[in-house]
Amino acid sequence: MARITLVLSVLVALSGSMLLSGCAKGPAKPDPGPVFWPSPPAEPHIQFLGGITDSVDVEGEKTGFSLIVTGREDPYYIKKIGKGSGITAHGGKLYVASTGFGQVVVIDIANRTFDYLKDNAGSGKLKKPVNTAVDEQGNLYVADTGRDQIVVFDAAGNYLRAFGTIAEDETAEARIVDVAVFKNKLYALDNRAGLVRVLDPETGRQLDSFGQDEVEEKNNLALPYALTIDARGIVYITNLLSGRVLKYDVDGNFLDGLGRLGQSFGEFARPRGVAVDSGGLLYVVDAGFSNVQVFDQQKRLLGFFGTPGRPAGSLNLPAGIAVTTDNLEHFQKLAAPGFRLEQVIFVVNQYTSPINPSISVYGYGSMQK
Amino acid sequence: MRSVFLLSTALAIQVLVAASGYAECITGGCHEALGRFSYPHAPVIDDCLSCHVAATTGHPQGGEKNFKLAAEGAALCAQCHDAFSGEKGMHAPVAEGDCLACHRVHGAAYPHLLDFGDDLSSLCFDCHDKASFTGAYLHGPVAVGECTSCHDPHVSGEKSLLKKPVRASCLECHADFAAKLQAAKIVHEPVRKSPCTDCHNPHAAPARYVLKEKMPDLCWSCHAKMRDRLSKVRVRHAPIDDAGSCSNCHSSHFSQVPGLLPESEKAMCLNCHGEDQLGNPPLKNIRTQLLEKQPARPARGKKQEVAQKEKQYLHGPLQEGRCAGCHAPHGSDYFRLLTGPYPEGIYAPYQEGTYGFCLECHDKYMLRFQDTSLYTAFRNGNRNLHFVHVSDKRKGRSCRICHEPHASNSQKLIGESGMPFGDWQIPVRFQPTATGGSCAPGCHRPFGYDRDSPVDYRQEKP
């Protein structure tokens, strides 16, 4: 199966030809047509739009040819994502933590750029970045389990600071696996202590923590993997040990929980990345099932997508997930005729293959009547 | 010359009359009565022999019939009148050729050779069971016996010998209704899809408006779910069981307003809940809660020019003119016909569900946590002051102690004049600030609160 590329898909879509196309690097395969979830004849809600694996998928093929400077063609280095982990969508950009390369890849969809973090060197050198968060000023917070620190960069990618010894007395063993920003606080997920640590983003000082105070054991964090915070301040945390997604608020009040370990619908094998859209739909990545399950606020399972077995759109050991309405007009060009996108979903595959890009891109929407 | 002309005309008439036998039949002293009808059958006047033909000679001969009819039954009438045929429905006497079941043959006191004038009820009830046309409420034409205003007495293509289809028959008289129906935005489904006779008995009925059953029983025949629900609720809205029942609030046929209400929802509700006299004890006058206080009485001789305005802040649903946002208009298990649980007393410590009604719209976590930065702006720092007020296990304060349910001139619907507490109305004296506020109620000493810079109450002198 040919690689699925975003750029080529766009070009193909624009040319009015097939939506998904084999790129020049592989032999052409038959067009599978639009891939929807749920499957026809059910009303489609999710469409697989394409994928991003390297810089060519975003920037297109560059020759680097320049007669003026060198008189010959400069080499164009293809940048890859490698083994990805978490992904954050903010301000029209995607921030992808690459544990494989010790990098954060910054992808600007509108401007079609694909860059590594500029100041990933010296004090800012990342070892094993697993997740990221961006604040309102554009500052980037990277949870690095190799450094056991949160490393902070400014909007231009310049290294600012790092903090790891969050509160020496109790968090020396902290292992921060995910970060999120809400208002002027940083929420760091410590999977070793099973806590959300509320930090001052300037100093790293711990202001509060929560996650182990509930009487019912199942409502406490248990090997948490990822967290996300919605616009209202509700925190959703996936837990590998309990197979539950726990819902707190940013003040640390426990609100609710859903799921358990199991193989039925709505249960989890290895819940990983989690995201909430503006309508309150909850997306939970499961590395065991290699799919994403979607729930509403009443904890009803609405459906799932990405499950292997399709000619395209399958996930391969997925980890992070991000949902955004940014750049919708660009992705709308990839959608099937009549399928109106409302938001775009990015899921990171830890392993790539001819049919699994580093980032699988899905559109959430509805077929226009 | 003139006298010669008159003589010859009179002679000619005499000759003609003698030829038809009329003079002999009517004036001969035998059949005189046939000449006295107000409305004689036309042949009786001048042509007895068009129906009767001599069977023997030498009429009259005592003890024998010397004439026979020219034809039998309807065939006789059809000699002159067009025969009825080809229609779907035929009045039984017509079908049987028994014209004389209704009509007199030689003449009658009323037109159409009938013994009855406008009020045909006696004639019709000869055959039709009067019981079906008897009831507490009669349709107008039935009441005056004008059966033929709706029915054709001979033949019709419509059911029940109606002159027109049911709806057209009805709307022909109810023209004002027809005009309003035409202009209506919302039409009750049976009115739109079914004949009027689905709900109304066209003749007589035990219920007002010649309804087949009294309301609400009639309405339940379609709205069975409502019937079932209301059979279980703790409190039914009183008008349902009042004389007008459903029609106390709903326009049964059409409306310009959703819910088939005859006017806007708020105006509709205030018809009863906006006065001081209705009910025993009287219903609360909600109109006075919504409106500014009555302006001071104008000086003598000056007109009251300022119309009463609504208060500055109305509860959300009322801003949209809706009462049903909070109250179940048909019936409810809850206090004040509310749509969900809300304590009846002024003290009710918060527990999950106790304030479920308010929290259907307001943040469901507003009262739950001691500390929050999210669910309420009524907090000192992160200390949730709603929680402080309502969580007291003995005297958790219900919303109404501080908030008005309908309207206020104070932000957050804080009560201005305060809640009645025996003879005293507890003032709140709420003063908002950009980041908090203060109150000096009758409950405790004045307190301020600030979300950004929390007030340290321990430092404050009592």
Tell me the chain B residues in contact with residue A232 when contact means C-beta distances shorter than 8 Å.
Answer: 374
Quick: pLDDT tens for A128-180. 999 999 999 999 999 999 999 999 999 999 999 998 855 455 555 789 999 99
Residue A29 is predicted with a pLDDT of 61
The alpha-carbon gap from B372 to the nearest alpha carbon of chain A, in Å, equals 6
H-type alpha helices, B72-146: 73-77, 92-95, 121-125, 140-143
| Burial of B100: CB neighbours in 10 Å, binned 0-12, 13-18, 19+ | middle
Which of A52-66, B201-215, B296-310 comes out lowest in average pLDDT? B296-310
Strand pairing category for A318-324 and A244-249: unpaired
Mutate to test the interface with B, among A249, A251, A298 (most CBs of B within 10 A): A251
Q: What is the pTM assigned to this prediction?
A: 0.77
Closest CA to A20 of A47, A50, A41: A50
Dihedral of CA atoms B183, B188, B189, B193 in degrees, nearest 10, equals -50
B352 touches chain A (CB under 8 A): no
Whether B368 sits inside 8 A of A253 (CB atoms) is: yes
Whether B371 sits inside 8 A of A251 (CB atoms) is: yes
Whether B373 sits inside 8 A of A232 (CB atoms) is: no
Whether A250 sits inside 8 A of B369 (CB atoms) is: no
Quick: pLDDT tens for B228-246. 999 999 999 999 999 899 9
Q: What is the mean pLDDT of residues B250-255?
A: 96
Q: What is the mean pLDDT of residues B287-304?
A: 74
Whether A249 sits inside 8 A of B365 (CB atoms) is: yes
**A146 contacts A201 by C-beta, under 8 angstroms:** no
State which amino acid sits at residue B437: G
Residue B458 is predicted with a pLDDT of 85
Residue A12 is predicted with a pLDDT of 39
Nearest-Cα residue of chain B relative to residue A252: B372
Which of A112-121, A265-274, B105-114, B290-299 comes out lowest in average pLDDT? B290-299
Residue A10 is predicted with a pLDDT of 44
Tell me the chain B residues in contact with residue A251 when contact means C-beta distances shorter than 8 Å.
Answer: 369, 371-374, 382
ipTM of this predicted structure: 0.80
Whether A250 sits inside 8 A of B374 (CB atoms) is: yes
Tell me the chain B residues in contact with residue A249 when contact means C-beta distances shorter than 8 Å.
Answer: 365, 369, 372, 374-375
The alpha-carbon gap from A299 to the nearest alpha carbon of chain B, in Å, equals 16
SS3 content of chain B, % helix, strand, coil (to 5): 35, 15, 50
Tell me the chain B residues in contact with residue A208 when contact means C-beta distances shorter than 8 Å.
Answer: none
Distance CA A3, CA A48 (A): 14
Residue B295 is predicted with a pLDDT of 62
Distance CA A293, CA A266 (A): 7
Quick: pLDDT tens for B39-80. 999 998 878 888 999 888 878 777 778 889 999 888 999 999
Q: Give the number of C-alpha atoms closer than 13 A to the C-alpha of residue A215, restricted to the C-beta side.
A: 0
Both tokens of B175, joined, read 């023209």
Nearest-Cα residue of chain A relative to residue B363: A232
Q: Spell out which chain A residues touch chain B, with contact meaning CB-CB distance below 8 angstroms.
A: 232-233, 249-251, 253, 255
Which of A57-61, A107-111, A267-271, A318-322 comes out lowest in average pLDDT? A57-61
Whether B374 sits inside 8 A of A255 (CB atoms) is: no
Residue A11 has pLDDT above 60, yes or no: no
The alpha-carbon gap from A251 to the nearest alpha carbon of chain B, in Å, equals 6
Tell me the chain B residues in contact with residue A250 when contact means C-beta distances shorter than 8 Å.
Answer: 373-374
Residue B429 is predicted with a pLDDT of 92
**Please, which pLDDT band fits residue A19 given cuts at 50, 70 and 90?**
very low
Q: What is the mean pLDDT of residues B285-304?
A: 76
B window 365-394, beta carbon within 8 A of A: 365, 368-369, 371-375, 382
**Please, which pLDDT band fits residue B15 given cuts at 50, 70 and 90?**
very low
Nearest-Cα residue of chain A relative to residue B365: A255
Residue B11 has pLDDT above 80, yes or no: no
Q: What is the mean pLDDT of residues A336-351?
A: 97
Tell me the chain A residues in contact with residue B365 when contact means C-beta distances shorter than 8 Å.
Answer: 249, 253, 255
Whether A253 sits inside 8 A of B372 (CB atoms) is: yes
Place of tokens 């990015």: A346
DSSP state of B135: S
Quick: pLDDT tens for B79-131. 999 988 766 789 999 999 999 999 999 999 999 999 999 999 999 999 999 99
Strand pairing category for A113-116 and A103-108: antiparallel
Closest partner residue to A232 among B369, B374, B382, by Cβ? Answer: B374
Distance CA A364, CA A348 (A): 17
Quick: pLDDT tens for A269-317. 999 999 999 999 999 999 999 999 999 999 999 999 999 988 799 999 9
The alpha-carbon gap from B374 to the nearest alpha carbon of chain A, in Å, equals 7
The alpha-carbon gap from A232 to the nearest alpha carbon of chain B, in Å, equals 7
Whether B372 sits inside 8 A of A255 (CB atoms) is: no
Q: What percent of chain B has pLDDT over 90?
A: 73
Residue B358 is predicted with a pLDDT of 96
Q: How far is CA B1 from CA A343, B5, B6, B12, in A?
A: 113, 7, 9, 17
Residue B33 has pLDDT above 90, yes or no: no
Quick: pLDDT tens for A196-234. 999 999 999 999 999 999 999 999 999 999 999 999 999
Q: How many CB pairs under 8 A join A and B?
A: 22
* Mean pLDDT across chain B: 89
Nearest-Cα residue of chain B relative to residue A256: B365
- Output A176 or B35, whichever has higher pLDDT: A176
Q: What percent of chain A has pLDDT over 70?
A: 86
What separation, in Å, do the N-terminal and C-terminal C-alpha atoms of chain B show? 135
Query: Which residues 6+ apart lie within 8 Å of B300 measured at CB?
Result: none
Nearest-Cα residue of chain B relative to residue A232: B374
Quick: pLDDT tens for B394-423. 999 999 999 999 999 999 999 988 888 888
Both tokens of B181, joined, read 């129906």
